Amino acid sequence: MVLLLHLLAGKRFRNTLLLAASLYFYAWGETLLVAIMLVSIACNYGFGLWVAHARETGGRAKLAVGVAIAFDLGLLIVFKYANWLWENLQLMFGSQAAPLLGWAHPSDLFANAIGTGEGHLRLPIGISFFTFQAMSYVIDVYRRDVAAQRNPVRFALYISLFPQLIAGPIVRYRDIAVQLAERTVSRDEFASGVRRFVLGLGKKMLIANTLAVPADAIFALQPELLPANVAWIGILCYSLQIYFDFSGYSDMAIGLGKMFGFDFLENFRHPYVARSVTEFWRRWHISLSSWFRDYLYIPLGGSRRGSARTAMNLLIVFLLCGLWHGASWSFVVWGLFHGGFLVLERVGLGERLRRLPRIAQHTYVIVACMLGWVFFRAADIEQAMTFIGSLFGTRGFSFESQPLHAFLESPAWLALLAGIVGSTPWYSRLSERVENCESESRLFALTATARVGGVLLLSLVFGLSVMLLAAGTYNPFIYFRF
């Protein structure tokens, strides 16, 4: 319905329509918590104008951008980390934490409308995404990379645009500033968006959701029932699940953006084919890693102040990257785990890796990432360490007490195979070759056949995905906590 109305609305009313639809969709899932996003929009709109005015008049621009960053981080800390910080203070000081600090429990400071009813604040969906977008906008205005947006509808649409609001990618204002003011939707771009959306939907519904079933079942096993072979299958399933879940959402966002005339940047470039952990982070969640690079790592000094300072900067960045993903010590460990590998690769490990055969480099990356995903998936550090112990044989191997067919039925095996093959760039390379063949008349028939086959394949993927949605099959949303 929104696509149809967007087509009929004309250029003058398209932004207003998309803003209304975005707020409606967000309120559908969050009810009164939409007010938090509206407050963020209003305040950051004002901060942008304040920073721009201070820049133009020689005022205190640093103060303005400092207030903006403090506000945005404060919003994030209150709603995402207050419960976690409170729980850790309780562990440190026991029942004396509240009278010692003069604090009430975070959920007691707000109305029941934004609490869970269980003594916790509700986490607004997508708060990390729209907060980081708002911060990047104000900082870019301060750096004079962009002009402050004076049209409140355009700014509000930038923050709340529904295709990427709740699961990314993190879109920077400078990348879509022109498109907010003027954009066209061509037939070819719309068709490209449809194809990209269906591909992402298939990734999520057919691969990620299918592999989530054995992954969740294996991680739920008691430690004494978790032999090494089952543990490795479990973390393999989860490694593919999280990749196809998140890259699937990114594909859907990019596809929807194209349908509405927006061109979002790529967020994933086949990270599992990387040959170092450093390269992995150039391919994984690109919008987040580039955000931390431009707004934290480089301002801290980057790699310009010696090896020790570079190592410290990397560890700070990845500690905060871990915390961005969730308020848990296991996320902190996951972030430092990856940061540690980047430090090691800078001080010599990377050079040694380049001397190894490609298969050894790929194996190193896959194993390192899978071990890291254990901390990401586990409920806490204790479960993560126990699971890693099982991976390395502390509970032996067993093909009888826990047979693999108990976790991997036919759909899961098929999804596992599709996930492994789909993690490689074969599809994109094939698409490029088909596009390049169009100019050669002798290959026209082959190109036409490939296009028809592609349409049929995408139709099948779309039909199966809709059937699974209609059937109400298992549909976890990993990134709800972000």
Report, as residue numbers or ranges, the catalytic residues: 325
Rg (CA), the chain: 24
Cβ atoms of residues 72 and 135 within 8 Å: yes
Cα angle 450, 456, 462; round to 5: 135
Asked whether the beta carbons of 158 and 20 are under 8 A apart, the reply is no
**Token digits for 180?**
């907010």
DSSP 294: I
Q: How many other CB atoms are there within 10 angstroms of residue 356's CB atom?
A: 13
DSSP 8-state secondary structure symbol assigned to residue 19: H
User: Is 210:412 a contact under the CB 8 Å cutoff?
Assistant: yes
For residue 152, give both structure tokens.
């409140």
Distance CA 328, CA 381 (A): 9
Encoding tokens for residue 38? 């509206």
Query: Residue 127: beta bridge partners?
Result: none
- Token readout for 251 is 């594909």
Euclidean distance between CA atoms 334 and 349, whole angstroms: 20
The total of other beta-carbon atoms located within 10 Å of residue 140's CB is 21
SS3 166: coil
Q: Give me 32's structure tokens.
A: 């009164």
Give the Cα separation of 339 and 310 in Å (integer). Answer: 11
Length of the chain (residues): 482
